[in-house]
């Protein structure tokens, strides 16, 4: 999101190109549309509840408010700030954990795939 916005600003030689709110929309809604998804990318009744939660108490968000939230998320945020990921209304990641995921099964499958790759 940040890279896309900054790239457009540089190419256009215009610091106002792709405002932060547009960058967020591009990352969420336009990204879903480009990937061929319907009823995703916005929090809207009847649409899939896909979202991320962000820890706004981190130092890079000091000064965030309702008026500038898009700017902070687009330009000061990072994936390290994500505290949760919800897809279709189910938490896939929440506060450092993966609810419903069997860690041992995932690790075993990962090791198996690694070994297969190393064998060639």
Q: Residue 60's pLDDT is what? A: 95
Q: Which fold has domain 2-119?
A: Urease, subunit C; domain 1 (2.30.40)
Domain ranges of the chain: 2-119
Q: Residue 103's pLDDT is what? A: 87
Segment-wise mean pLDDT, segments of 10 residues, the chain, 120 residues: 83 89 91 92 89 95 95 92 93 92 92 93
Q: Which of 51, 1, 44, 56 is nearest to 25 (CA)?
A: 1
Instruction: Name residues whose C-beta falls within 8 Å of residue 74's C-beta, 6 or more positions apart in sequence.
Output: 1, 2, 5, 20, 23, 24
Q: Residue 100's pLDDT is what? A: 87
Q: Residue 7's pLDDT is what? A: 85
Q: Residue 2's pLDDT is what? A: 82
């Amino acid at each position: 999101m940040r890279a896309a916005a900054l790239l457009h600003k540089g190419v256009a030689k215009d610091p106002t190109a792709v405002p932060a709110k547009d960058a967020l929309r591009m990352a969420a809604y336009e990204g879903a549309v480009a990937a061929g998804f319907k009823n995703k990318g916005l929090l809207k009744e009847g649409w899939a509840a896909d979202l991320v939660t962000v820890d706004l108490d981190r130092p890079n968000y000091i000064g965030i408010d309702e008026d500038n939230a898009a700017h902070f998320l687009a330009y000061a945020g990072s994936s390290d700030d994500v505290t949760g990921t919800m897809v279709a209304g189910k938490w896939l990641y929440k506060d450092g954990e993966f609810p419903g995921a069997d860690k041992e099964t995932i690790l075993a499958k990962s090791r198996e795939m690694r070994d297969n790759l190393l064998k060639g």
